[in-house]
Structure 1
């Protein structure tokens, strides 16, 4: 009787192990990919709102709209700003990336100027803040001129 029970268990195990891979191999329907503009809510163009304050120069402060492809908006240097963004993209740089947390930055102040940039860049949503609180932040700001004003 024990022999019969053991044989039944072995046969059942063999049958189950053969059935599981067959069931797992059955193709499942995959979700359809969404088109990229729907993922980003944009058509791939650059449309940014640049809000600059505390520069000490009232002509460089305010809210500016920047559109690229073609260049336009209320930004005072729209063509040059779009050219700079294109240049950074061609280099593979992300001009909106924050300073890495492990960066070693000089402890210097570049003043109280701040800027917030929102909108889309090449179809990617942007919402970031720039300041001039240390050497890394100053370098990040200066690397994005003329999108951001020249502040001394």
Structure 2
């Protein structure tokens, strides 16, 4: 075997042997790129604005169209401060808090009631146009992640 090939094999073997030892101190550590993915998205210039239209929530006071403004908080949303805080918590780089359930997802066949919601506007500098229902386990979970932007329908 050629000396160069032997050197490559020895170095490869050494790298494989050392990899677990080098990785051990990093176990549980968050890499810089992971920190970026986990960091909240910076506030939008001019604030964020969402229009939320809810029907059949079971609470006539929550049904209808409400405006939510964040950064600074405003609008006529019944829980504006709580909704802005909750939205800030679920807003992350590379994750769309308004994304639909991916096609082909297996969802429990449960019914969460007739409530529907439509959210439009801008959040974290991006346009929003999303519809929410509660007609299976995935859609219920998607809705619940945005409470109190969307009303809690736990009583249904």
- Report the TM-score when normalising by structure 2: 0.67
Mapped partners of 1:107, 1:82: distance in 2:
31
What SS class does the counterpart of residue 117 from structure 1 fall into? strand
Partner of 1:146 in structure 2?
148
Q: What's the CA shift for 1:56?
A: 1.7
What pairs with 1:18-33 in structure 2 (closer than 5 Å)?
none
What SS class does the counterpart of residue 54 from structure 2 fall into? strand
Among 70, 78, 81, the alignment partner of 2:80 is 78
What pairs with 1:1-152 in structure 2 (closer than 5 Å)?
43=45, 45-90=47-92, 93-152=95-154
- CA deviation map 1:48-99 (0-9, x unaligned): 0000001121011111000000111000111111111111114764210000
- The answer as to whether partners of 1:47 and 1:66 remain within 8 angstroms in 2 is yes
**Shift in CA distance, 103/44, structure 1 to aligned 2, threshold 3 Å:** farther
- Report the TM-score when normalising by structure 1: 0.69
Mapped partners of 1:96, 1:109: distance in 2:
20
Task: Provide the alpha-carbon RMSD of the alignment.
Answer: 1.6
Specify every segment of 5 or more residues in structure 2 that has no aligned partner in the other structure, as ranges.
Answer: 1-43
Mapped partners of 1:45, 1:94: distance in 2:
18
List structure 1 segments (4+ residues) > 4 angstroms apart after TM superposition: none
Highest CA radius of gyration, 1 or 2?
A: 1
Q: What's the CA shift for 1:127?
A: 0.6
Q: Would you say how many aligned residue pairs link Structure 1 and Structure 2?
A: 111
- The answer as to whether partners of 1:115 and 1:130 remain within 8 angstroms in 2 is yes
Mapped partners of 2:111, 2:47: distance in 1:
34
Q: What's the CA shift for 1:45?
A: 2.5
